[in-house]
Structure formats: structure tokens, C-alpha cells
Amino acid sequence: MNTVIDEGIIGKKIYPIIAAALQKNDAKFKTNIKKYFQDRHEQLFAIAPYDRIFFNQVDIDNLYKSLGLQESQILQIMKEVFFWDQPWNPQCAKEPYVETLMCAIRYYLKKNDKKSAYLTCTYMAFTGKFYASVHGAAFPTVAPIKYKSVMDYVVNNMLSDKFDLKKYGTVFGAIEAMCKTFIDTYEKVIKDPNITDKNFSDLIQQLRTREMSFMMNIQQLYMEAYENKYYLNYESENENPDDFRLPGNDSATALRLTEQTMNYLTSTYVSLEICNKCKDANVKAIEIKDIIEAILGDKNNLPQVRRLVNIMICNFMANNPGKNVGSIEFVAFSTKPKPNTKSPVELEQKQIILKWLDENSPNYRRRKSREATANSYIKSITMYFVLVINKIAR
């Protein structure tokens, strides 16, 4: 019987190549990761794992291009690893890009750069051999996932705080937390100067097992809800059900857009580009940015932010049946001055914004006695939220 020898090929031959590439191309490598996340923002920051989130050959090519390498370089060395020609679990340990990313994690940890290690690990967890693969195992047929009202019921009524998805609010937040725990737990093994090929394989299996556990815990609850025909009753979930009279489909759309907008507002920087579209002669873009940052930076404001977003969406849909929130009509309707309105929700919207301005803008407090200036501030803050909602809806 032949004895298989673990020569530590990955650590000895592949790691030096990746380390040298990162020394030259660290910024390009991270830019590629951030672009990958940005391109899939809606799926990553969803409140539940609705979508498969695919990672294809173009994404692999982009990864190696950011490093200034060719996938074939790593593939050729991988063929020297002892388990290459063996039936092996996990199979993805034979994937060149997976081992490339494990080496990148090792590089950052050896430099004591945990932040970059966390980022790289989270990226790896959303690649095809991880997220798409475990999602496919948990939900072999994608069709049931399209019944998002069932998944929404699970998130709203069946997940306890012990679930990371509930704790962190988005798929990305839950996976990122999982990756941080993984890195903190196995840092010494990953940095070990004598790391073996089996060590690399075991680490990959550990991360994949954790991700599979995350997905299967949700899948079990999903199937229970699906089989029992549980689904989120969007109308009954509305904070003030008498505010609007929306058909069931519109209520579902409004709730989902509200959640997606909140995910965007709480997970991205305030956009100066959008602020520039909200400025006028009385209010500068940078001041709008400062005010929005102050509003979103206070967690106590988030319930009111959610309420404001929901009012804007539902008010438009109630008054414009069949029109799309992603349209220019939404922007025009939502930013049009309504000085004589008697609508309770429109008055509530205005009061929320006035309260925020009083609390977060010294310039507004000083200048609000002039009606035109006060109206400029109100319109600018209103416009920011309207344009964000419109962007998400598109």
C-alpha cells in the first residue's frame, strides 16, 4: 500500500505567489471584492436568503486579474497536492481560486491585518463553491423561494435572536459575522508556519460547514412554514393599517421596498452624488450629507426612518395605482410641495423631517425663520430619501 505524503504544497508553493501578488496589488484585489459586493448589493443585503447569488468564470477571471496572475498558474501547482487525484471532501479544496483566497487570508493574518482577512473571508464565503453551493443544497429547487412571503414570515415570526440572520438583519451581516468568528477561531492554524495541505482542506471544510449550518437552519423553518402554508400577511404587518388601502400585491411590494431601502441606508455611506441632486441656493450638498449622516448615525432614529420610507412608498402607491416607485413619477409626486395638505401621513412625514432638522442642523435652527430657507431644508432632506427609494426600486 502506497503511503500518501502531505508535502505542504499550498503553503510552500502557492502561498508565496499570492503573497507577492498582494504586496503589489493589494488595492486592486480589494477593489475587485468591493465591486463584486456592490454589483450584488440587493441580493447580499436582503433580509433573507432569497437568491442563489452566482459566482461564475468571469468573476474568477476578475479575481486573478486583480492579483496580476493567471488561474492556470495556480491550477498547475494544485495538481501536485496529495489529494488532487483522490476522492476528497470537501471537493472545493481542489478549486484553485478557493486555495488562492485561503492564502490571501493567511497573508493578511501574518501581517496582523484582521480587517482585510475578514473582508477576504466574507468574499470567499459568497463565491460559488460556498454560498451558491450551500444554497443549492438547502433549496435544490429554486421555485419555492419565489414565494417570498413564506420566507418573510420565517424572518418576522419564526427566527429568534439566536439566529444571526435575525441578529444582524441581512444575509451579508450574518455571513460576515460567521466569517469573523471563523477567522478568530482558526487564526493560529492559518498562520502556522508548518501548515499542511490537509490543514488548508480542513479549514475550508470548517467554513463551508458553518455556512451550510446557517442555511439549513433557515431551510428547516422555511419548509415548516411552506408546508403549513404560513406566509406574511403584509396588510396586518403594516404599522398603521388604516393609513393606506393597498391591494395585497402592492402591500407586499411596499413592505419589501421599505426593508430593502432600510438595508441600503444602514449599510452604505451617505451618497454625496445624491446629495448634489438635493442641493439648492440655500442648502449645500455637504450640509445635506452631514444632516443625513447625523440622522442615520443615531440608532434611535431608525424606527422613524423606516416609518418615513414606508409613508413615502405607500402614499405614492395609494395615489398612483399601477405606477412604479422606480419611475420619475414617484420622484415628482413625492417632492412636490403640498402646503395645504390635510393628509395625516403627509403631515406626519413633515413633522418627522422638521424634528430631525431641529436636532441635527444648527444652520437650520438659525435660519428657519425665513420661510423659503426652511422649505429648502425640508425639500432637500425629503429629496434625499425619495431618490434613495427610487434608486432601490429601479
CB 8 within 8 A of CB 195: yes
Query: Does the residue 99 lie in any domain?
Result: yes
What is residue 315's predicted lDDT score, i.e. its pLDDT?
87
Of 265, 246, 260, give the one whose Cα is nearest residue 315: 246
Smallest CA-to-CA distance from 22 within 121, 116, 128 is with 116
For residue 351, count CB atoms less than 10 angstroms from its CB and return exposed for 0-12, middle for 13-18, buried for 19 or more: exposed
Question: Hey, what amino acid is at 303?
Answer: P
Same domain, 200 and 317: no
Considering 197, 227, 257, which residue would you say is the last residue of a domain?
A: 227
The tens-digit pLDDT sequence of the chain (394 residues) is 456 799 999 999 999 999 999 999 999 999 999 999 999 988 898 888 988 899 999 999 999 999 999 999 999 999 999 999 999 999 999 999 999 999 999 999 999 999 999 999 999 999 999 999 999 999 887 666 666 778 878 887 788 878 898 888 889 999 999 999 999 999 999 999 999 999 999 999 999 999 999 999 999 999 988 888 776 554 444 444 345 555 556 777 788 888 888 888 887 888 899 999 999 888 999 999 999 999 998 888 888 899 899 899 988 888 888 888 888 999 999 888 887 788 888 888 889 999 998 998 888 888 888 888 888 899 999 999 999 999 988 8
Q: Are residues 252 and 188 in the same domain?
A: no
Going by C-alpha positions, the residue among 298, 320, 311, 316 that lies closest to residue 348 is: 311
Q: Which three cell numbers stand for residue 236?
A: 396586518
pLDDT value of residue 98 = 97
- At a CB cut-off of 8 Å and minimum separation 6, what does 27 contact? none
pLDDT score, position 394: 80
Domain boundary among 227, 256, 283: 227
Q: What is the pLDDT of residue 318?
A: 85
Look up cell 459575522; give the residue: 177
Pairwise CA distance, residues 73 & 357, whole Å:
57
Answer yes or no: are the C-beta atoms of 136 and 52 closer than 8 Å: yes
Number of folded domains that form the chain? 2
In a domain, 232, yes or no: no
Which residue type occupies 29? F
Residue 117: inside a domain: yes
Backbone φ, ψ for residue 283 (5° rounding): -130, 120
Do 280 and 355 lie in a common domain? yes
59 and 200 belong to one structural domain: yes
- Looking at the structure, tell me whether residues 102 and 186 fall in a common domain: yes
How much is the pLDDT for 245?
55
Is 3 inside any structural domain? no
pTM of the full structure: 0.64
Domain of residue 365 covers 237-393
Q: Could you tell me if 13 and 159 lie in one domain?
A: yes
Beta-carbon-side half-sphere exposure of residue 339 (alpha carbons within 13 Å): 4
Residues 35 and 113 in one domain: yes
> Considering the domain boundaries, does residue 381 fall inside one?
yes
What backbone torsions phi and psi does residue 251 show, to the nearest 5 degrees? -65, -40
| Residue for grid cell 501547482 | 77
What pLDDT, on a 0 to 100 scale, did the predictor assign at position 266? 83
Q: Are residues 206 and 291 in the same domain?
A: no
Q: Determine, yes or no, domain membership for 353.
A: yes
Tell me, yes or no, whether 328 and 355 share the same domain: yes
pLDDT of residue 193: 96
What is the pLDDT at residue 198?
96
Question: What's the one-letter identity of residue 44?
Answer: L
Residue 184 belongs to some domain of the structure:
yes
3-state helix/strand/coil string of 87-118: CCCCHHHHCHHHHHHHHHHHHHHHCCCHHHHH
Same-domain status, 161 and 262: no
Task: Indicate if 202 and 303 belong to the same structural domain.
Answer: no
Whether residue 4 lies inside any domain: the answer is no
